[in-house]
Amino acid sequence: MAELRIRWQRLVDDAGKTCGRCAGTGDEVQEAVDLLRVALAPLNISVIAESSHLGEAEFAQDPLESNRVWVAGKPLEEWLKVQTGQSRCCGPCGDNDCRTVSVAGRDYEVVPKELVVKAGLLAAAELITPSE
């Protein structure tokens, strides 16, 4: 069975908290993974969800590494050929600018499940091989 890995990364502070933006993206990623599992099972592709976190020191060095999603080892924005941006965040992120995704002139602070599903389907297409 082929595997499609989807990884989500975000800041988790010393108190174990993350910002609302990252928490929302985490929820959207989980919904996308659930949808992809159902859609790709008949093609013998399993979908594996992974999450990782940045500590406060790592985040301070590069806040735009938080709220990132990778699909099959590539950033979501590469699969979708979209831009990333940044906007002021809150909570554990403080006054830092955090990652956004820009699609067709619209900026998303929380990555929508539809974008994760689309990237997942593009990645899954590369895993499909003819049977012998």
Q: What is the pLDDT of residue 132?
A: 64
Q: Which two tokens stand for residue 35?
A: 């949808």
Between 111 and 11, the more confident residue is: 111
DSSP E strand stretches across 21-96: 45-54, 68-71, 74-75, 83-88
Going by the DSSP 8-state scheme, the letter that residue 112 receives in this structure is P
User: Do 122 and 114 form a contact (C-beta atoms < 8 A)?
Assistant: no
Residue 57 parent element (H or E): helix 56-61
Q: What is the pLDDT of residues 67-121, one digit of tens each?
A: 999 999 999 999 999 999 888 887 777 778 888 899 998 999 999 999 999 999 9
Distance CA 35, CA 33 (A): 5
Q: What is the pLDDT of residue 72?
A: 97
Q: What is the pLDDT of residues 12-59, one digit of tens each?
A: 888 888 888 889 999 999 999 999 999 999 999 999 999 999 888 888
The domain ranges of the chain are 2-127
Kindly report the pTM of this predicted structure. Answer: 0.92
Amino acid present at 98: C
The verdict on domain 2-127 having CATH code 3.40.1350 is no
The residues, ordered by sequence, that sit 6+ positions from 44 with a Cβ below 8 Å of its Cβ are 1, 2
Q: What is the pLDDT of residue 122?
A: 97
